Amino acid sequence: MKIRRRSSNLLIEPPSSATGDIAFNLIVFFLVCASVQPDSGRHQTLPRSEETEQKEEKDKNIEVVVKRQVALVNGDPVQPAEFQARLAALLAGKPRPEDKVVVVKSDDDVPYHFWMTVTSQIEDAGGIITLQIEEEREVQVP
């Protein structure tokens, strides 16, 4: 005698009351994933600015002028590949921290990525960056 297996046509559905909880847990998971990514960056120590009148005499500090695509060390254009080695050589004979100050003057149109490359190389060579920013003053002529 054949015994028929009873086939149940019941549809087993997950309880719909749990969907809200599932969504809640998914959101918490993705939020935690997003918030654990820490910012990474490069520390830079800059001295506070002080107003100084333009001096006639040349300072003994190294001066770096940053143009749009090239940097000049004490007036001489230096290729990016040689820049750090050149600065390291100039700073090698200066043991005092105050002599390691490198005055950085940038043109208005210098992009941030190039400025960052130059200033990073100055710091890696052992220099202490000081920004030279020209202040604009309006003078009324009578």
The residues of the shown chain that bind other proteins, judged by CB under 8 A, are 16-24, 27-28, 31, 38-49, 66, 106-113, 115-117, 120, 124, 131, 133
Nearest to other proteins of 91, 104 (CB atom): 104
Paired tokens of 80: 């990016």
- Rounded Cα distance between 121 and 3, Å, is 86
Quickly count: other Cβ atoms within 10 Å of residue 127's Cβ: 24
- Rounded Cα distance between 117 and 105, Å, is 14
Nearest to other proteins of 4, 48 (CB atom): 48
- Rounded Cα distance between 117 and 71, Å, is 10
Nearest to other proteins of 61, 120 (CB atom): 120
The CB-of-30 to other proteins minimum distance in angstroms stands at 10
The CB-of-45 to other proteins minimum distance in angstroms stands at 7
Q: Report how far apart the first and last C-alpha atoms of the chain are (Å, whole number).
A: 122
The CB-of-135 to other proteins minimum distance in angstroms stands at 10
